[in-house]
Every structure is written in structure tokens, then in C-alpha cells.
Amino acid sequence: MKKVLSRFLASLSLAALPAAACAADGSVDSTTLLRFSQDSRPGVSSRTLLPATSFLGLDADKLADGKLSAHFLGWGRADLADKSFNENQADGSLTYGYLQYRFGAANAQARAGRFFVHEGIINEQVDGVSARTDLPYGFGVSAFGGATVHNARIPGTGSDGKGDGIFGGRVNYRYGGMFEIGLAGVFETDAPTMADPNLAGRFGSHRVIGADLWYSPISKVAFMARTSVNTETGGVAEQGYLLTVKPLKDLTVTGEFNDYQDRDLFYSSALFAAMPSMLSGNNLNQESRTLGASASYQIDSKFELTGDYKHYTRDIGKADRFGGELRCTLPDAALRTGGSYHYLRSSADFAVVPTSDASGSFHELRAYAMRDTKSYFASLDVIDYLFKRDIDGKKSALELYGSLGYHLTPNLALSGDLSYGSNPQNTDELKGLIRLNYSMKLAGKGDTK
């Protein structure tokens, strides 16, 4: 029954396709990429990889009485040479596909099909239905329910670790624009039994409740917080706090603190639940904390300067990351460029192979530039990581990424990318792709990008 329901709701999302044909407003976005590379690593049989991947997005607005819309995004891949990735010569996925009805007031809307839910602490992908509305006196409510969207199975278990059904929702209260509190919860039906002994006592059903807060007593200060509790383990999984201050019109200063309890946070992830034991012994109660600050200053209409610092605390050690970035955007965004530097200072415990003479510290340097005109567009991106201690005999990892394209028509663009890398995995890594992008907007007066 659950499989039937799941398939029915996923099929319902296909209604987005014919709906697009009779839409008064909407857009079509298609990106097709043909990647090419050759895998000739020593000890691995040589392969020629030529996967063709197409992403298709459709948005059909103002259907029926003008309040109905349909939305679709998916991708498909066919390997034109050797298998590029998994056991399948072809693959694909429906990212989302749903019908949405937007009511005439109170930001009320209902959805049916496959969609994402972002409500407070909730981030889920669902085959089902959802509804939300504002209510008088500053209240609001949202709810969703349906079938879980299953994905790749964990090898050897025959399952992805998810239950078959999921529902949840959020209630919130706002006072003017200065205060909001939201309470949210998600309940997934029982997780399947996983045969992996590493998961015993560490893995279970996905059931979380939590709260989010916004408080802005004056226009220059905003405080945001969110916390979630895993009702299966009874522990606080995540706490996050963000303070934003704007002492000047163009200056934004932030301070943040995050605390994570790995066992409570990873409990419903078949992939992550066993990782702490793999990384540093059988210690699932590892606490992760980050404390950070940043400042962004819009120097003028073209330049933005950002500095940031973050301190990491884990049971296995501590680390600091700091750096800065300068970005430049010329009028009409015809030229965009930027450069950044960051340094991660960490102990040997965070090294790829944590031995006494290893280090997890590295410098990161990046510079990019892109030019977009009515006829052509081009970009260059350079990223270099300089390791404090060699990793697999390499002192650095460099990647050069260049792209050159031409607008064949206002809606159709053809481009090619070429990248070169030299890193601990590969002495020389050369990759390329050809990209065909089609983007069309039907009679839209607003901006959607």
C-alpha cells in the first residue's frame, strides 16, 4: 500500500509536464552536459568516460483560475562509453514535481506531488501533500505528510535506512517583524532493521522536534537560534545561534555558536551513524562545537570585503580557520571577480592519516573572474591548497577551471569547460565537458532566477 501511494504521488508530479503546455506564465530551463575523461590510474583497468546528463526544469504558473502552478525538476544520464559511475549504464532522478495552489490571502498554499519541505528545523523530501497558512494575530501553521523518498541502498543491507511514511509540521508566532518563534516536528515510521553490526544501538527511526527563534529588538540587531531534540535518543541533537549586527549601513558583523551531539544528530542516518567509531574509536557521544565571527563590508557598489574566523572544538582536538575574501561586481554584472585566502590551523588529529608527524593544516587560495556579454561568456577559476605537511607525497592540490561559451540566441547558450588538476590522487587530471543551456521565460513580469 505504501509503495502504491508513493508511486501514485510521484506519478501525480508528472502532471507538471502537460500543465506546462497550457501555462499562461512560466519558464523552461534545460542544461545538458557531455563530460569526457579517461581513467588510466595504475592498477585500474583503463576506462573512457563519456556520460551525457540532462537536467530539465519546468515551471508553469497561472494555470486554471490563475492560482494553480506546476513545478518539475529532474535529471537523466546515459553513458555513451564505459560505465561512468555505478552499475547502471543509465540513471536518473525526479528531484521534485508537484502541483501548487496558492490561495488569495494569508500566504496560504497547498502542494501535492514530490517536493521539499523547509520549515524551521525540518528539511525533508516527501512524496505527499502539504499545506501552510498565516493565521490572525501573528500565528501560522504548516503540515505535511506522505511517503518517504527512498534513495541509494547501503551496500549489504538492502535498505537506505528510512521508514516508508513521514509527516510533520510547524506552528509559529510572529510579533510584528521583530519576533518569531516556531515549533516543529517530524515523525517517520519505523526505520528498517539494519544488519550492519556497527549500527547496533546507534541507529533508529527519524523522529525530531525542535524550535527556531528570531528576535530583532532594533533594526540593526537580529538574533536567530534553532535547536532540535532527537526524541528517540532523548538528547539535544543540534543547537545553533547567530547574532547579526549592522553598526553601519554597509557593514554586517555576525557571531555564531553551534553545538552538535553526534549520536543524537546522526541517529537516523544509516551512512553517518557508524562514522564516529570509524574515525576515532567507539565514541558516539562526541561533541562538536564551533564558535565563529565574520564581518562583511560593502565598500561601494562594486566591492565587498569579508573577513571570517571560526574555532572548532571536538573531543579529538581543536582547530581554527580564518581568512578573508574580496569580491568585485561591475555594473550589470558583466564582470565579476574575486579572491580569497583562508588558513586552517589544526592538530595532527585532523590529518588525513593522524600520525605524530602529520598535520591537518593547510592554506587555501582562490581567485576567479567571469565575463558575461550578450554574445559570449567566459570564466577562470583557480584554487590552490598548500598543505603544511605532505599528503601522499604532495605538498599541494591545484585546480584550474576554465569555461568559454557563446549565446547562440538569447535563450540558447553553448559552452565548454576544461579543468586541470594536480593533487594527492592524481599527478595530472584533465577533464572537460560541453554544456548546452536552454532557458526560456514565458510572459513573466517578475524576476525568478
Partner 1 sequence: MRPSSQSLTLLALVALLFALAACAQIKALPNLPATHPEELASGPVSCTECHEDQQKGTLKQYAAFNHSRSFIANHRFYAGSDDILCASCHKVSFCADCHTNQTEMKPSVKLGNRPDRTMPHRGDYLTLHKIEGKLDPASCHRCHGRANNERCVVCHR
Give the per-residue contact string, 237-276, with partner 1 (x = CB under 8 A; - = no).
-x-x-x-x-x-----xxx-x-x-x-x--xx-xxxxx--xx
CB 233 within 8 A of CB 264: yes
Cβ nearer to partner 1, comparing 5 with 154 = 154
Place of cell 504548516: 142
Distance from C-alpha of 128 to C-alpha of 47, rounded to nearest angstrom: 41
Exactly one of 45, 219, 282, 375 binds partner 1 (CB under 8 A); that residue is 219
Nearer to partner 1, 5 or 384 (CB): 384
Residue 154 C-beta: closest distance to partner 1, Å: 6
Q: Which residue reads 510547524 in cell numbers?
A: 170
Q: Is 200 among the residues that bind partner 1 (CB under 8 A)?
A: no
Instruction: Please list every residue from 34 through 93 that binds partner 1, using CB under 8 A.
Output: 35, 53, 55, 57, 59, 61, 71, 73, 75, 77, 85-86, 91, 93
Q: 37, 101, 296, 442: which one contacts partner 1 (CB under 8 A)?
A: 296
Q: Which of 326, 292, 327 is nearest to 312 (CA)?
A: 292
Write the CB contacts of 368 (distance below 8 Å, at least 6 apart in sequence): 337, 338, 339, 379, 380, 381, 382
Minimum CB separation from partner 1 for residue 328, in Å?
A: 10
- Work out the burial of residue 82: count CB atoms within 10 Å of its CB; fewer than 13 is exposed, 13-18 middle, 19 or more buried: middle
x/- letters, 401..430, toward partner 1 (CB under 8 A): x-x-x---------x-x-x-x-xxx-----
SS3 11: helix
> Least CB distance from residue 355 to partner 1, whole Å?
14
Under the binding rule (CB under 8 A), the answer on residue 144 touching partner 1 is no
Biggest distance spanned by C-alpha atoms of the chain: 69
For the CA atoms of the chain, what is the radius of gyration?
25
For residue 88, the minimal CB distance to partner 1 (Å) is 10
Residue 8 in contact with partner 1, rule: CB under 8 A: no
Site for partner 1 in 364-403 (CB under 8 A): 364, 366, 368-370, 377, 379-381, 383-385, 391, 397-399, 401, 403
Report 298-337 residues binding partner 1 (CB under 8 A): 298, 304, 306, 308, 312, 314, 316, 319, 325, 327, 329, 332-333, 336
Distance CA 29, CA 440 (A): 6
Which of 22, 135, 195, 408 is the binder for partner 1 (CB under 8 A)? Answer: 135
b (16+ CB within 10 A) / e for 13-29: bbbbeebbeebebbbbb
Alpha-carbon distance values, 226 to 30, 219, 220, 269 (Å)? 36, 21, 20, 20
User: What residues between 102 and 131 interact with partner 1 by CB under 8 A?
Assistant: 102-109, 115-116, 118-123, 125
Q: Using CB under 8 A, count the residues that bind partner 1.
A: 168
Residue 5 or 259 with smaller CB distance to partner 1: 259
Please state, in angstroms and as integers, the Cα–Cα distance from residue 297 to each residue in 318, 336, 353, following that order. Answer: 29, 17, 39
